[in-house]
Amino acid sequence: MESKIDLNLLNMACFMVFSFIYVVSFSQAVSQETEAVHLKEIPASDTVKQKNLETYIVHLSLPVGVSSAQLEDLENWYHSYLPKTTTGFNDASRIVYSYLNVVAGFAARLSPEEVKEMEKKEGFVYARPQKILALHTTHSPNFLGLHKNFGFWPDSGYGKGVIVGVLDTGITPGHPSFNDEGLSPPPAKWKGKCELKGAACNNKLIGARNFVSNVPGLPVDVEGHGTHTASTAAGNFVQDANVFGNANGTAVGMAPHAHLAIYKVCSENGCAESDMLAAIDTAVEEGVDVLSLSIGAGGGNPIPFFNDGIAIGAFGAIQKGVFVSCSAGNSGPESASVSNEAPWILTVGASTTDRNIRATAVLENNSEFDGESPFQPKNFTNRLLPLVYAGEVSGDQSASLCAPESLDNADVRGKVVLCERGGGIGRINKGQTVKDAGGAAMILMNEETDGYSTLVDAHVLPATHVSFAAGQAIKAYINSTSTPTASILFRGTVIGVKDAPVVASFSSRGPSLASPGTLKPDIIGPGVSILAAWPISVENNTNTKSTFNVISGTSMSCPHLSGIAALLRSAHPDWSPAAIKSAIMTTANFLNVNNGLILDERKLPADVFAVGAGHVNPSKATNPGLVYDIQPDDYIPYLCGLGYTDKQIAIIVPRHVTCATISSIPEAQLNYPSFSIQLGSTNKTYTRTVTNVGKATSAYHFDIGLIPGVDVHVHPTTLNFTEVKQQKTYQVSFGRSDTSISNTYVQGAIKWVSNEHTVRSPISIELI
């Protein structure tokens, strides 16, 4: 069957742009039969024997001549860019994917020399080798104030009718978290497919597809990561969920009545950009409302957005009204380590909840150090056992890290072993090393950079994970006596931990290197010791399908925010992705449960580069009062202001842009719900526009606290609204009040306050 492409957007672009070459964004109106063709992966050609082929992502500008083309003509036009084979024909099998919705171009296996030849062809914009990216609950809904029978959850219909697309390692069909009790059929707009066998899909799991190009097969999850993130975002209610009997309760995702569409793009070898772009392209076409990507490049290296596959795909998605949530990365607490920095993405850091699964290290000198572990065997001895530091019982240089086999010749049998984190060795693997050597238990101590951040892992032996300070004290005790002894006291699940939420040590930090004028991360959410669905039992229980695991990462906080965005989309279907993002940010909590400042892993006040706007508050986000809205075209002056060339911007948008005819803006002038600026001796003024989404008649007054060394002035100081969706613009000027303060960052927040709302925007100022 041959289907035509809806090229309305292309025709419009042809009308508006004077050049005979155009970059276009195709509409979603492509049939399922057509979609199956244009995103079909084709095996590598047997005729191509070069060893230096790799997958390139190629961006093109389409000529006017294809405006009435059918899919086959477009495919042939893409093929015309490929090198000639010895047979004289284009080697069409070199194409991996052809993109229609979020990218104008294709992915193909090419050599560097072939790319150079391709650059000479008319319509060529840019090509680069794809990057391989990395993968970055029973209690968190309650901690976030979501209650089953009252409040925001029932008011939003639990996300009813919203489709959440999850790009990850696949899914575990048949898991209780993906039952469809209480769910209606998917909305009529859904055009997706289920590649799982039999009746594995239902009204909860409405689609599942595999895009891992080098691993053909079903989109089944063998890693666990995708199952965990999908159930966190939109898993249905499952009673009596627990791990080793701890953290027991009802497991449920943020949007339990939203639909899930799964796109497998990652394997144990990582996540290929070409696969990910193909999945985003398809997800947008199939009708998802929210995209959740717990994926990203390593932080610390400035990647311009035109070289960032996630940024490019996400821009194409928001152009079609799809909200995109991404993990900030797990490279913290290093400064400037945040990834997924584009302002059209919600960038999510990780924090704790007020729940611990407590395991206390008890020493013979009566010292006790609280740590965490879910594996708490009831038959573990309560008597003190010999205690040793792994680094002192073996001649192996990696013994202190409890690296595999490093303790094989050490005398640890029947002893409690103190191990250090780090070395690129998994925490559970360290315990396995101790167990293999005959150790009775493990105390795992943090590295100094991890401070007081402790994590819950499904350990293979009795264990506890303690802070760096606790580990140092235990080391000192070992060195103070010839017969050190210790035990572990298992205390079970503890609710109501003070000072929650605390920023996780691993959560990546700003400032953004790709766009310093945009404050990142945007928000923090639960990402430490999150219980969610898992493909297999971590307890080796083969008699249950109700399998869960507790893991940590910004990969866990991202789907929390994806699910909350689904709730907001359900409650406010007319809100743009930027409006949803603004509502989440301006209503965030900047204080902890004790009304103190949110702390970091050092137990010090966390700065804006750790928390962004603060910790998400879903119930407040549904009624923010005002929002900072941004339309997709509003990002173009911003991109020009970044100094990108017209060609580079065309890779992102994608359409022809001429910055010379556009009034470019500084990064901080974007209508963003936060401020990130540099301030020298010259005052700087920025404009913001807010939209009233609260009561028609409302008045807001300006409020700001002291920012060291900075004067702040706002005009006007009062905003009066008479209509819903009415917009008001204000200007805020920053000047130096103390020039002796320099080469540092200071922070604060602007607040617009009414009788019912506080609309808060965080500020970061680099004094230069």
Q: Are 385 and 414 in contact (CB under 8 A)?
A: yes
Paired sense of beta strands 758-767 and 675-679, if any: parallel
Q: Among the options 91, 168, 308, 600, which is catalytic?
A: 168
Report helix, strand or coil for 679: strand
Torsion sign across C-alpha atoms 24, 25, 29, 34: positive
| Burial class, 439, CB count within 10 angstroms (exposed 0-12 / middle 13-18 / buried 19+) | buried
Minimal CA–CA distance to 624: which of 692, 672, 674? 692
7 contacts 26 by C-beta, under 8 angstroms: yes
Q: What are phi and psi of 153, to 5 degrees?
A: -60, -60
> How far apart are the C-alpha atoms of 718 and 703, rounded to whole Å?
10
- From 555, 576, 674, 761, active-site residue: 555
Based on the residue annotation, tell me whether 600 is a catalytic residue of this protein. Answer: no
* Cα distances (angstroms) measured from residue 57 to each of 82, 250, 307, 309, 445: 13, 44, 10, 9, 43
Residue 485's CB: how many other CB atoms inside 10 A?
17
Residue at token pair 């049939």: 31
Residue type, 227: T
Is 555 an annotated catalytic residue?
A: yes
**Catalytic site includes residue 111:** no
Exactly one of 59, 175, 225, 459 is catalytic; which is it?
225
Torsion of CA 305, 308, 312, 315, to 10 degrees: -60
- Pairing of the two strands 246-251 and 238-243: antiparallel
**Helix residue spans in 572-617 (DSSP H):** 577-586, 608-611
How far apart are alpha carbons 271 and 293 in whole angstroms?
11
| Rg (alpha carbons) of the chain, rounded to whole number | 27
Pairing of strands 259-264, 205-210: parallel
AA identity, residue 101: N
Rounded to a whole number of angstroms, the distance between the first and last alpha carbons of the chain is: 63
The residue count of the chain comes to 768
Known catalytic residues are 168, 225, 555
